[in-house]
Amino acid sequence: MLAVAVRLFGMLGALAGEWQVALRLPKGATVADVIARLGDRFGPSFLDRVLRVPGELHTYARVFVNDEQVDDLSTVIEVQEPSTEVSLLLLPASQGG
């Protein structure tokens, strides 16, 4: 299993009511899997803020895995150990620097 630490910023954290979320996903999980799990937890209104259509981020949403921006939701979260923590940030671009 893969431990994924998700940090939510701005309206996403407010909408979720949480700023940090811990998930456990199978090895080989993708960024889309993480977002789907968040949608299961926080509901369709959360997903509507992140995804323009299923499988495609809104133009203002940004996802970072290990401090690197990821645009392809099919990107596999690569880790050295199954229990490695991964930080994934969903940050609306209007709140970025």
Residue 80 sits at φ, ψ, to 5 deg, of: -80, -35
Tell me, what's the pLDDT at 2? Answer: 86
Question: Is the pLDDT reported for residue 16 higher than 90?
Answer: yes
**What is the domain extent for residue 44?**
2-95
Question: Is the pLDDT reported for residue 92 higher than 70?
Answer: no
Number of domains present in the structure of the chain: 1
* C-alpha of 77 from chain center: 11
pLDDT single digits (tens) 21-66: 999 999 899 999 999 999 999 999 999 989 999 999 988 888 888 8
Tell me, what's the pLDDT at 97? Answer: 52
Q: Any idea what the CATH number is for the domain that residue 68 is in?
A: 3.10.20.30
Q: DSSP labels for the chain? A: -EEEEEEE-HHHHHHHT-SEEEEEE-TT-BHHHHHHHHHHHH-HHHHHHHEEETTEE-TT--EEETTEEE--TT-B---SSTT--EEEEE--GGG--
The whole-model pTM stands at 0.85
